Amino acid sequence: MMVSTYTLDYARQLDEKDTLHAFRDEFYLKPDSIYMDGNSLGLLSKRAERTLLESLADWKEHGIDGWTQGKQPWFFLSEELGAKMAHLVGAASDEVIVTGSTTVNLHQLVATFYKPVGTRTKILADELTFPTDIYALQSQLHTHGLDPQTHLVRVKSRDGRFLEEDDIIEAMTDEIALIILPTVLYRSGQILDMKRLTEEAHKRGIMIGFDGCHSIGAIPHSFGEWDVDFAYWCNYKHLNGGPGAVGGLYVNRKHFGTMPGLAGWFGSSKEKQFDMEHTLTQADSAGAYQIGTPNVLSCAPLIGSLEIFMEAGIDNIRGKSLKINQYLIDLVEHELKDMGFFIGTPREDSRRGGHVSLEHKEAARICKALKDNGVIPDFRAPNIIRLAPVALYTSYAEVWEVVQILKKIMTEKQYEKYKNEREVVA
C-alpha cells in the first residue's frame, strides 16, 4: 500500500533505507530534543570524545614527551590532520593544515597574498559574507594605509538572498588585486560556482581565495582541480570538531615558498624548527602558514571526527544531505502553506548547501518557541530560521516532527508570547 509522502510512516521508511543511519549512534543526542543547528556547532561524537581523552591521557602520562610519544604525538598533529582532511577539500595532503581559526587564517592568507601594486590595489568581496571576513579585510587594508571605503569592493546582491556569478565576474576589474568569497552563503545556503569564479579571476590575473566555513564537511570540493589559490575554514560546524575547534587552511602547492605574511616558528621546516635560528626556514607545504603552537586539546576531537568522515564518505554525506533537505523543503511547502514562510534557499541541488533557510517576519519569536518545544534551530537577523538536517545524525522522522511542531506553533500562535528579538547568542 502506498504511504503518503507527508506522513510519519513515510519518514520512517526513508530512515530504514538510509545507508548512513547507523552513524547516528556515534553521536550524543539529547533525549526529547531535536538538534537542527549542526551548521553552527556540530554535535559531539563518541569518537571525538575518545580521542580528546586520549590526548589528555598522553599529557598526563608523558608530560612534555607527549610531543613525540603517546597515542597521538603532538608535534606532527596539525600536518597529520591536514592530510586526513585533504579529501574533503579536494587537495593534496601537504596542501592542507589544521591550524589557527577562521579569522586568524584569513589574516594570514591576506597578509601573504594581497600585494597591491600600481592601480591594482583593491580587494573584492560581497555584501552577504559573514562579518568577520569584512572586519579582517578592512583591517588588512588599514595596515597598507588604504581606506576600506574605497578599496574594499562588495558585490551587491540583487535580492538580499543570493549572489549572481555574473555580477561577481563583472566586478573583477583591473583594479582588483585579491578576491575573497564564501563557498556557501551563511544565510541562504547558496553554493557559489567556485570553479567558474576561479577560472574568471585567473583569466584577469587576480588571485582568489574562499571561506569554506559553511561547506567543509557538507559538500565535496575540488580546490586542487579548480586551481583555487587558497581557502580557510572552521571545523566546529559540519566537521563536529567542538566549540572553538582549531581551523583549517588550504594553499595551492604552486604558492609553496611564498613567505608567510605573518611568520611564526611553527611555520618552520620540522627538521629546522628546534635549531632556534633567527632566520626562518619555512616548511615546503601548507604548514608554512601556521603561526603558533597548535592547540592540541582543541585539535584532538578532530582525530575521532575525521575517522567518521573517512568511513561515511563525503559523497554519501552529500547525497543524504540533498535528499533530507529536499524532504524538509517539501514538508514546509505542504504543511506550512499560507503561514507566512518563505524558503530563502536555492532549490537546485548544485546551488544548495547543507541547511535550509526559512524566512518569516516573526523568525526570532518562532525560534524561541521552537526551543521551548524541544527543537534547537538557528536564528539569523533579521528574519531567518536556519534548519540543518545533518546527514550523519539527523533522521527523516525528526525532520517530519520539526515541521509538525512548527505547524503547531503557528496554528496556536505560540510565538506571540515571546519578544521578536534575538538572544545574546543567536
Residues at the binding site for pyridoxal 5'-phosphate are: 102-103, 130-133, 211, 214, 236, 265, 293
Spatial CA neighbour of 360 closest among 377, 387, 339 = 339
Cα–Cα distances (Å) from 401 to 7, 28, 33, 397, 414, in that order, read 10, 19, 11, 6, 17
Give 404's Cβ-side CA count (13 Å radius).
Answer: 12
356 CB contacts (<8 Å, ≥6 apart)? 189, 325, 328, 329, 332, 343, 345, 386, 387, 388, 389
Residue ranges of the annotated binding site are 102-103, 130-133, 211, 214, 236, 265, 293
Contacts of residue 78, Cβ cutoff 8 Å, sequence gap at least 6: 97, 98, 99, 246, 266, 287, 290, 294, 299
What is d(CA 104, CA 291) in angstroms, rounded to the nearest whole number? 9
How far apart CA 261 and CA 100 sit, in angstroms, is: 14
Asked whether the beta carbons of 426 and 379 are under 8 A apart, the reply is: yes
Taking residue 346's Cβ as centre, other Cβ atoms within 10 Å add up to 18
Burial of 220 (0-12, 13-18, 19+ CB in 10 A): middle
Stated as kind and residue range, the H or E segment containing 357 is strand 356-359
Q: What is the DSSP letter of 327?
A: H
The residue written with cell numbers 581606506 in the block is: 147
User: What single DSSP character describes residue 72?
Assistant: S
